[in-house]
A and B are shown apart, each in its own frame.
Chain A
Amino acid sequence: MENKEVDILEFAERGEDVPHATVYRVRIDGEVVKIETARPTGELLLSKVGKRTCAFELIEEFVDHKNDVVEPNEEIDLRKHGLKGFITAHKEIVTIFINGDPYKIERGNRTVAEILAKVNETPEGYVLLEEKSGPPMPLPPDQPVKIHGCEVFHTQAQSGGSS
């Protein structure tokens, strides 16, 4: 008979195999979330705690203190022996989106020129626009841009000047 709901930590601590269940209770950064499949992807688990793969990575934690990084599209077996839960970590190299395409960049303060260089453009020729809780707005070319991961940028050809 299949269990309705199981807590994977309890089974890991007892050294027992996790049985089949309808719902698996899983800890991610200490927060208990309910997963309705035994084989979720890393991306799905991150989304359960409001995080995205463009900024965070997911790490499996085992009772024997072993840790493994989970790739976003990797399927995890929640019934894996000894798996007690997950933690997340902010990536050092994050993903940003420019004109709809993903690009890797180091987290922290970056120059407009560094960001435009990802699409082979320069501040002399292009304006960098950031879509941040609203429409794409132009950014000053001489101010640093704080990158946390998942930022959405657009570019537009330079076309204006004081007349």
Chain B
Amino acid sequence: MDYPQEQIDELKRYCSKVSALTEGNATFLFLEQLRLPDGSEPAACDALLRPFLGADGYPSQLYFSVQVKSPYAKNWNVSNARICEKNWFAFSWKINLASPTLAKILVAHLTGFTKEK
């Protein structure tokens, strides 16, 4: 699965490196040292963006290499999920964008750290 280069370039602003990781027929985006919203601890961590519908029924998912502490407690319902030969964590956050780009999907997931619900 290919993603538009301009959308990949937009993602690069948020992290130190973007690379594609494949599992089966699916292409995930590995975001090295993704910047997290103010108040998050750590302030940056590796992340994996799944910008497509998954078996979990979510239209997209953002996985983190660690459980991030944020000003609002999150429901971390994915723990040590093994994807692309790495372990990942994710909190319950479902997004539904009318015209999604990769950066918009990413921001919509990061917004979860800035809200209670």
Contact = CB atoms under 8 A, between A and B. Distances in A.
A47 B2 CA distance: 44
Interface in A123-149: 127, 129, 134-141
Interface in A86-141: 127, 129, 134-141
B100 to A, nearest CB: 8
Nearest to B100: A159
B50 to A, nearest CB: 15
A138 B107 contact: yes
A11 to B, nearest CB: 50
A157 B97 contact: yes
A160 interface: yes
B71 interface: yes
Contacts of B117: 161-162
B104 A139 contact: no
A163 interface: yes
Which of the four size classes fits the interface of chain B? 20 to 34
Given A160-B108, A160-B109, A137 B37 contact: yes
Interface residues of A, number: 18
Given A160-B93, A160-B94, A161-B93, A134 B13 contact: yes
Nearest to A134: B35
A141 B115 contact: yes
B79 interface: no
A136 B107 CA distance: 8
Q: Which of A129, A137, A160 has the most CB of B within 10 A?
A: A160
Nearest to B10: A135
Nearest to A112: B114
A159 B96 contact: yes
A140 B116 CA distance: 9
Given A138-B110, A162-B75, 12 more contacts: A134-B35, A135-B13, A136-B107, A137-B35, A137-B37, A138-B111, A138-B113, A160-B109, A161-B93, A162-B112, A163-B58, A163-B94
23 contacts: A127-B107, A129-B107, A134-B13, A134-B35, A135-B35, A136-B107, A137-B35, A137-B37, A139-B37, A139-B114, A140-B72, A140-B114, A141-B115, A156-B104, A156-B108, A157-B98, A159-B98, A160-B93, A160-B95, A160-B109, A162-B74, A162-B92, A162-B93
